[in-house]
Amino acid sequence: MFIPEIFKDDDPASLRARITANPLGTLVLQHDGGLEANHIPFVLSADEQGEQLLAHIPRANPLSQLTGSHPALVIFHGPQGYITPSWYASKAEHGKVVPTWNYAVTQVHGQLRVVDDGQWVQRQIRLLTDQQEQGRAQPWAVDDAPAEFIDRMAGALVGLEIRITGMAGKNKASQNQPAANQRSLLSALASEPGAQPMHSLVRAALQDD
């Protein structure tokens, strides 16, 4: 991934927070047929050996037939969106502005293996469920369903474990714009419908500078 220094996000807490907040990752693998991408929700976990991404997939997915260890890339996207030149103060001043696209992303590299173990799969499902249900007034728990039903459902799944070997992050959030444009952009995003995630991204990135 091309990361100009001004857009580099090398804060481990920020990289991990983006995974937790946006767990649907794009898993990219290279095999004999070429590159393949799958979109899968992951849980970030850690043990004495390091950090891992944990997921589950249906047995019907051809990935379930992989054996051994495979290099893998998983991409997690944060807020993203088109930035119109109309939001820049310098448009009225001299007009020398162009559109751009702001976004945040975390890329994770690691070694993937398939885990064909019903108990492992159920533990991963509980981790993912608990993560996504937290904060709800009446959170659903795996144990709310009949045990034999969960056993049957889990039996149709296999696990994916990716041992993390590296992470990289990029926050492209108008850090390269003059201060006047940054202020006018924040003002415009504050009143733009649906732009709150981008407003928060830009505000946080500029505060870090």
- pLDDT tens-digit series, residues 73-96: 999 999 999 999 999 999 888 988
Q: What is the DSSP secondary structure assignment for residue 25, as one 8-state letter?
A: E
The pLDDT assigned to 130 comes to 95
- The share of the chain scoring above pLDDT 90, in percent, equals 90
CB-based burial label for 94 (10 Å; 0-12, 13-18, 19+):
exposed
- 131-161 burial, b at 16+ Cβ within 10 Å, e below that, comes to eeeeeeeeeeebeeeeeeebeeebeebbbbb
- Of the candidate ranges 14-18, 46-50, 91-95, 200-204, the one whose mean pLDDT is the lowest: 91-95
For each of the domains in the chain, give its residue range(s) and CATH number, in order of start.
Answer: 5-80+93-175 (2.30.110.10)
Question: How would residue 33 be classed by pLDDT, with cut points 50, 70 and 90?
Answer: confident
How far, in Å, CA of 57 to CA of 64, rounded?
Answer: 7
Strand partners, 50: 47
Question: Which residue's entry shows tokens 């047995």?
Answer: 59
How far, in Å, CA of 27 to CA of 9, rounded?
Answer: 21
